[in-house]
Copies of this chain bind each other. A is one copy, B any other.
């Protein structure tokens, strides 16, 4: 097969067909929509472009405008549906604004190397979520517009969910169900969102006069296998009646470990996660969790970034954090022996 693809049509082709200059074509097709072009001429150009099937060459446009119309999204783990949702949210609004998004995670790499690669691709900006942007060396982000997710910063604008409230909600839910022997499983990390979830949780516990022995604070990577191992270790030593997991992956791993060990969830042990990924309602029993608006986070981050790229100044002052909410499902119930005070117990699943 010859496959001698016909040379793509350029502004010059359109110009020739419309009987005008290339500059005029460019004026009509790209620039300020109301450049000074006679209506009749404009019409002819549009017509010619249409007929020829003209499609602007983004590379050329980017070259002259000094922009690539692409943005990167850096997350720790695309396999985690939460981050994937963030990416998806960003992708939607980016697409509308004519930007492509290059998602990538740092599983097989480091944030620095990944940012390096993104800069080599001339991305105009990046959205950073969950990789501790604050700790990045200063020059890894130079020449780059940045928006951070769930991490307040004076250097860059950002969007955030109310992670503190997430932790407090989880604690409040458990305490309301009468739990006082409460454990926590989360990552050892300097990622702000995780730390806030944790802080909110312990704050609220303290407010209720609850403190927990240090062996009930388990550190583990925020993954299913991490949660599995942590819960297994936890069960080997002692028996809390409830546990808050810093995200749903951990929670699902923890749930699995508990069931495997023959623990009756939720009657002997309540488990509550955070994120509300789709799978949370698929596992059995369904996972109680705190819903975080991941797609909305991604969408807003993208909007913020693109606004910057389009030249508008954007303040780095954080806006109101996005609200989170408790999703009662089947892995939490009244503490064994105790009676729930404010809470009604779990939603039935029949």
Contact = CB atoms under 8 A, between A and B. Distances in A.
B120 A58 contact: yes
A57 interface: yes
A256 B284 contact: yes
Interface string A185-215: 0000000000000000000000000000000
Contacts of A68: 58-59
A315 to B, nearest CB: 11
A59 B125 CA distance: 15
Interface stretch (A96-104, A168-176, A338-346): A96-104
Contacts of A283: 282-284
Q: How large is the interface on A (under 10, 10 to 19, 20 to 34, 35 or more residues)?
A: 35 or more
Contacts of A253: 282
Given A117-B95, A122-B57, A122-B59, A79 B278 contact: yes
Interface string A49-84: 000000111111011000010100000001101001
Given A8-B143, A253-B282, A284-B283, A58 B104 contact: no
Interface in A220-249: 224
Given A103-B103, A284-B283, A349-B260, A119 B59 contact: no
A140 interface: no
**Copies of this chain per assembly:** 2
A240 B170 CA distance: 41
Contact of A102 (B79, B102, B119, B278): B102
A252 interface: yes
A87 to B, nearest CB: 8
B95 A84 contact: no
A153 interface: no
A5 interface: yes
A330 to B, nearest CB: 11
Nearest to A349: B260
Interface in A125-173: 142-143
